[in-house]
């Protein structure tokens, strides 16, 4: 065959997809399309309804004019014979096309000049009741609406037929339809353009916010998105985004502060250990039990405790503190910690404990009491008072000392991490600034709360309230 060879690969190649899909258009373009479509449908339905109502109103006017002429001619026949009827009663105008006066047998006695001698409607359809809107079945001119009535006068029975022309009504309606068709594209275009410009103007603020957010980096979180004027949804979005950026910046600053403080806290014991080891390397004769007991072991234990505290706080930030809950005698836990403190503290430590039982983690609650007692021991002058009792269904732990007290402005800040109220940030007392932070995390995990108040006569009172279980028997 010498015919042209058609490649099957061209047949199997898929047709190119349209690039201009509405789903890929901008929000403004899609909004304009939807607005134009809705306006077009609404305009079409409304125009059709109004046109129908307008046409019916015009036709009703034609029927009313024809019926009025029937009544006028009937009134004239009640006084005069058909030959004596006034010519104006038979005249035609824009609404009246023809008038006929007939005998019951169908003979035309009087008529308008524009109509033939043939009856416009079948006479068997005419009665003594006025009928309107009849169709001219036997007339070649179909653009008529007939009104007819049979009457009885002193001069005999007659039939009055009046034809109303609907040409003017139809012409008016067609003119209205043409005007609506011409106005529809203009109205749809105006609605679409107005919607597009309005949405574009609204989204310009969103674009500004998006550009500003894209420019914000972790190195500089002080930038904020511009808030457009007004109180609409976009302004609310900008305010919400700025609030979110405030929280992110606060968390970022807190994280950097946490890392810096942790590094600073770990550097001190690590430096002490390295210095002691350097001395031991330079002078091996000085590496003895006393150096290990007085320097290396205390600093290593201090660093281990600090690392454990940091890990506990990190777990609390990540997913909360997972505790093994069981019935715990809070009075027994506090009594044990008070006995420990008395062995290692020169202050007077007194305790008044009622039998109180709660559902919680014994080790974590013991750490709460221990941290509070250690904190009180570092600041007390000579006395520490501990009280455990059940108050209104809550287990209450109070630890009071006679130290210098905590200013009101700092009673919330002391629960932040690495916070020390002494300006020198001295670590001689052994505190790392994490004790009260850990207490706050454990208390919150047990659905409790902690407050600080002033002790009468000077000092500080720390109160912890936890949901208590049923009060146990004191003889237990």
- Residue 306 near residue 265, CB atoms below 8 Å: yes
Q: Which of 273, 299, 315 is the last residue of a domain?
A: 315
Count of other CB atoms within 10 angstroms of residue 322: 9
**Same domain assignment for residues 328 and 274:** no
> Does residue 400 lie within any of the structural domains?
yes
**What integer pLDDT is reported at residue 19 of this predicted model?**
47
Q: What is the pLDDT of residue 432?
A: 62
Determine, yes or no, domain membership for 475.
no
Residue 1 lies in a domain: no
Bridge partners of 461? 400, 453
At 411, is the secondary structure helix, strand, or coil?
Answer: coil
Q: Is 263 in the same domain as 207? A: no
pLDDT, residue 134, reads 86
Instruction: Among 293, 315, 337, identify where a domain stops.
Output: 315
- What would the 3-class secondary structure string for 445-469 be? HCCCEEEEEECCCCCEEEEEEEEEC
Q: State whether 267 and 329 are in the same domain.
A: no
Total domains in the fold of the chain: 3
The answer to the question of residue 15 being in a domain is no
Contact 83/101 with Cβ under 8 angstroms? no
Same domain, residue pair 48 and 115: yes
By residue range, what is the domain housing residue 309? 233-315
Residue 331 domain-assigned (yes or no): yes
* Rounded distance between C-alpha atoms, residue 178 and residue 184, angstroms: 10
Query: Which CA distances in Å does 291 have to 118, 299, 428?
Result: 142, 11, 18
Element (H, E) at 131: strand 131-134
308 within a domain of the structure (yes/no): yes
Q: Is there a single domain that holds both residue 337 and residue 359?
A: yes
Q: Are residues 345 and 287 in the same domain?
A: no
pLDDT of residue 470: 54
At 116-169, the pLDDT tens digits run: 788 888 888 888 899 988 887 655 556 788 899 999 988 889 999 998 887 788
> Of 261, 211, 228, 221, whose CA–CA distance to 244 is shortest?
221
Residue 318: the pLDDT is 63
Distances 365 to 241, 305, 323, 324, 326 between C-alpha atoms, Å: 39, 17, 10, 11, 11
Q: Pull the structure tokens for residue 226.
A: 């511009």
Instruction: Report d(CA 259, CA 296) in Å as an integer.
Output: 25
Q: Which of 252, 283, 315 represents a domain boundary (last residue)?
A: 315
pLDDT digits (tens, 9 = 90+) for 378-400: 889 999 999 999 888 889 999 99
Same domain as 397, residue 332:
yes
Q: Are residues 63 and 131 in the same domain?
A: yes
135 and 206 co-located in one domain: yes
Q: Residue 6 domain-assigned? A: no
- The DSSP call for residue 121 is S
Cα atoms in the Cβ-side hemisphere of radius 13 Å centred on 252: 12
pLDDT, residue 423, reads 45
Same domain? For 447 and 328 the reply is yes
Alpha helices, DSSP H, located in 78-220: 167-215
Apex 288 CA angle, 287 and 293, nearest 5: 110
Q: What is the largest CA-CA distance in the chain?
A: 159
Q: Are strands 326-329 and 144-153 parallel, antiparallel or unpaired?
A: unpaired
The CA distance from 444 to 466, in Å, is 9
Identify whether the C-beta of residue 160 lies closer than 8 Å to the C-beta of residue 148: yes
With b for 16 or more beta-carbon neighbours within 10 A and e for fewer, the 435-464 pattern comes to bbbbbbbbbebbebebebeebeeebbbbbb
Pair of tokens at residue 274: 């390295």
- Residues 258 and 417: beta-carbon distance below 8 Å: yes
Residues forming a β-bridge with 110: 101
Q: pLDDT (tens digit, 9 = 90+) per residue, 277-309?
A: 887 788 777 777 777 777 777 778 777 777 777
Whether 68 and 191 share a structural domain: yes
From first to last of its 476 residues, the chain has per-residue pLDDT tens of 444 443 444 444 444 444 456 667 888 888 888 999 999 999 999 999 999 998 889 888 888 999 999 999 999 988 888 888 888 898 888 788 889 999 988 888 998 887 878 888 888 888 889 998 888 765 555 678 889 999 998 888 999 999 888 778 888 889 989 998 999 899 999 999 999 888 888 788 888 888 888 877 766 777 788 887 777 778 888 888 888 888 887 777 767 776 776 676 677 778 878 887 887 788 777 777 777 777 777 778 777 777 777 777 777 666 666 677 889 999 999 999 899 899 888 889 999 988 999 988 888 888 889 889 988 998 899 999 999 998 888 899 999 999 888 888 888 888 877 666 654 334 444 456 677 888 888 888 888 899 999 998 889 999 999 987 754 444 34
Which residues 6+ apart lie within 8 Å of 7 measured at CB? none
Q: What is the CATH number of the domain that holds 311?
A: 1.10.287.130
Do 92 and 209 belong together in one domain?
yes
Q: Is 384 helix (H, G, I), strand (E, B) or coil?
A: strand
- Does residue 375 fall inside a structural domain? yes
CB 120 within 8 A of CB 139: yes
């Amino acid at each position: 065959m010498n015919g042209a060879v058609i490649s099957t690969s061209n047949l199997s190649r898929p047709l190119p997809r349209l690039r201009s899909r509405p789903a890929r258009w901008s929000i403004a373009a899609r909004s304009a399309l939807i607005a134009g479509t809705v306006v077009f449908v609404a305009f079409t339905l409304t125009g059709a309804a109004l046109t129908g109502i307008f046409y019916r109103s015009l036709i009703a006017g034609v029927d009313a004019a024809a019926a009025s002429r029937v009544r006028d001619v009937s009134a004239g026949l009640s006084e005069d014979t058909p030959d004596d009827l006034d010519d104006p009663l038979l005249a035609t105008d824009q609404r009246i096309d023809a008038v006929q006066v007939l005998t019951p047998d169908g003979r035309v006695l009087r008529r308008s000049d524009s109509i033939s001698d043939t009856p416009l409607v079948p006479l068997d359809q005419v009665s003594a009741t006025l009928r309107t809107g009849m169709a001219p079945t036997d007339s070649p001119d179909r653009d008529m609406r007939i009104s007819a009535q049979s009457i009885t006068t002193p001069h005999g029975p007659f039939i009055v037929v009046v034809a109303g022309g609907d040409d003017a009504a139809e012409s008016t309606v067609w003119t209205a339809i043409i005007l609506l068709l011409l106005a529809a594209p203009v109205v749809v275009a105006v609605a679409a353009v107005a919607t597009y410009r309005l949405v574009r103007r609204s989204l310009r603020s969103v674009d500004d916010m998006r550009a500003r957010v894209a420019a914000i980096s972790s190195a500089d979180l002080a930038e904020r998105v511009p808030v457009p004027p007004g109180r609409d949804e976009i302004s609310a979005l900008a305010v919400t985004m700025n609030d979110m950026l405030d929280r992110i910046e606060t968390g970022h600053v807190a994280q950097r502060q946490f890392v810096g403080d942790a590094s600073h806290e770990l550097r001190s014991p690590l430096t002490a250990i390295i210095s002691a080891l350097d001395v031991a390397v330079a002078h091996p004769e000085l590496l003895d039990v006393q150096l290990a007991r007085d320097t290396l072991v205390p600093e290593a234990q201090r660093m281990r405790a600090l690392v454990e505290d940091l890990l506990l706080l990190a777990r609390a930030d990540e997913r909360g503190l997972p505790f093994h809950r069981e019935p715990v005698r809070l009075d027994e836990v506090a009594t044990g910690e008070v006995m420990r403190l008395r062995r290692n503290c020169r202050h007077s430590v007194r305790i008044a404990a009622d039998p109180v039982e709660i559902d919680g983690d014994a080790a974590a609650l013991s750490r709460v009491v221990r941290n509070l007692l250690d904190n009180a021991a570092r600041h007390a002058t000579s006395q520490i008072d501990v009280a455990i009792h059940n108050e209104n269904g809550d287990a209450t732990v109070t630890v009071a000392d006679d130290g210098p007290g905590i200013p009101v402005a700092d009673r919330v800040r002391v629960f932040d991490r690495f916070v020390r109220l002494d300006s020198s940030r001295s670590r001689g007392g052994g505190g790392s600034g994490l004790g009260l932070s850990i207490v706050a995390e454990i208390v919150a995990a047990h659905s409790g709360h902690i407050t600080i108040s002033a002790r009468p006569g000077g000092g500080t009172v720390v109160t912890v309230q936890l949901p208590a279980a049923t009060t146990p028997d004191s003889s237990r």
